[in-house]
Structure 1
């Protein structure tokens, strides 16, 4: 009888092509009992493989490739989406479809208890092109948040003076929470909407009603 680890690897290889295989036939191949195959199939399911089937009917794996659960940081998820965005803009229609399909799987796997999705910022309909263009100003925005430095932005034809407070990542794009001095209120701006960004020689100090904590209380 082969070792259990070897047996499980053999079963994974046999099931990978999606063919429905009976426990009886697999038991004959491996010189084990059908009960052993049943236990092995349960073990493969517990390890995360999408094994489909029941005793007596047969088994198969329903996905070509399976991965263990991944715990990604926001920065790692950003990098992954940026890579997909680059592939989607490569000009190869087949690769574009594959990249968009993979991005949809990533979006579906994101936890539902993350930040509330702002109105008009839907993930699944957000274009890949915005993912790439939205990264241009990230370094300057992060630096301005740390330094509490005011910024001049141009969104469309509108110039605005803002106090940058927090960057948020939504799976396909970034947004920034700001106190807008031009409109005298809080706002959430998608980074891909920013045409121009200029650091101003003015710092800001925390003021009641204009801080991130005030925005968070207002949002709840």
Structure 2
């Protein structure tokens, strides 16, 4: 879970107005107590009305209205798809409004501040957005279940190859979604644009994460992509 998603989850936990122990939140979100304390400090620093103390608990002292801070990656995905659909319409006023909304959300969402400089919401042709979403349910399941996936990939230079990959993480860059994976054909990390995956199927075979092939190993080599 990315930090931006975790912050949104903490807000959802506190929405009921009751006192919540940091330890309980840490167990629910499967992170350390220290991480929860740091996240709570971040929420307070950004103006979210959280009050409490270590050892006692935390609560929202007033309701939190909708804001980009509350958006998870999945909600950002839905927002992007919706704007892509609007961009296909013939109403110039709505198209302009969708582009303006995209810029505002990009400025307000924590994920935009945490991501590399390439980050940025945008409005792109719906056919391109739709292609990028087609394989995402299978890829998400494969990441969670550590299942080897076979993909047929259409590279930018025009070549089409079939690869067996160990899917590790999906990333949203505003323009496109990408899949970071360990490619067994190239015996190395590769990043694939999901809208350029022609076909995708689960193999039913599972893989063990070994030293040198994990997501942590990839991020160590590419620290600019760490959340």
Report the TM-score range of the alignment, normalised by the length of the smaller protein: 0.5 to 0.7
Partner residue in 1 for 2:177: 174
Aligned partner of 1:131 in structure 2 is 129
- Counterpart contact for 1:145–1:166, Cα < 8 Å: yes
In 2, Cα distance between equivalents of 1:205 and 1:132: 31
Q: Residue in 2 aligned with 1:99?
A: 98
Question: Secondary structure of the residue that 2:133 maps to in structure 1?
Answer: coil
Say which of 187, 199, 216 aligns to 2:219.
Answer: 216
Q: State whether residues 151 and 199 of structure 1, in contact with CA within 8 Å, keep that contact through their aligned partners in structure 2.
A: yes
Superposition deviation, residue 203 in structure 1: 1.6
After superposition, the Cα gap between the structure-2 partners of 1:175 and 1:133, relative to the gap in structure 1 and judged at 3 Å, is same
CA distance in 2, matches of 1:108, 1:128: 22
Give the corresponding residue for 1:75.
Answer: 74
Could you tell me which runs of 5 or more consecutive residues in structure 1 were left unpaired when the two chains were aligned. Answer: 1-66
Partners of 1:205 and 1:151 in 2: how far apart?
Answer: 14
The separation in 2 between residues aligned to 1:215 and 1:200, in whole angstroms, is: 23
Structure 1 residues 183 and 126, CA gap change in structure 2 (3 angstroms)? farther
8 Å contact 1:77–1:171 — kept in the other structure?
no
CA offsets, 1:27-79, max 9 Å, x none?
xxxxxxxxxxxxxxxxxxxxxxxxxxxxxxxxxxxxxxxx9744212222211
Normalising by structure 1, what TM-score?
0.60
> Against the structure 1 CA distance between its residues 89 and 103, is the aligned structure 2 distance closer, same or farther, given a 3 Å change threshold?
same
Task: Show CA shifts across 1:90-137 (max 9, x none).
Answer: 3434422332232223223344531325xxx66366734333321111
Which portions of structure 1, spanning 4 or more consecutive aligned residues, are displaced by more than 6 angstroms? none
The gaps in structure 2 that reach 5 residues or longer are 1-64, 155-159
In the alignment, the residues of structure 2 paired with residue 124 and residue 80 of structure 1 have an alpha-carbon distance, to the nearest angstrom, of 10
Residue number in structure 2 paired with 1:150? 148
Are the counterparts in 1 of residues 121 and 173 from structure 2 also a CA contact under 8 Å?
no
Q: Distance in 2 between matches of 1:106 and 1:199?
A: 34
Name the CA distance, whole Å, in 2 between partners of 1:102 and 1:128: 16
Shift of 1:155: 1.5
Kept after mapping to 1: 8 A contact 2:151/2:197 = yes
Q: CA RMSD in A?
A: 2.5
Secondary structure in structure 2 of the residue aligned to 1:134: helix
Q: Following the alignment from structure 2 to structure 1, what is the Cα–Cα distance between the partners of residues 144 and 194? A: 18
Question: Is the Cα contact below 8 Å between 1:86 and 1:132 reproduced in 2?
Answer: no
- State the partner residue of 2:208: 205
Offset, 1:138 = 0.8
Matches of 1:114 and 1:105 in 2, distance apart? 16
The aligned length equals 152
**TM-score, normalized by length of structure 2?**
0.58
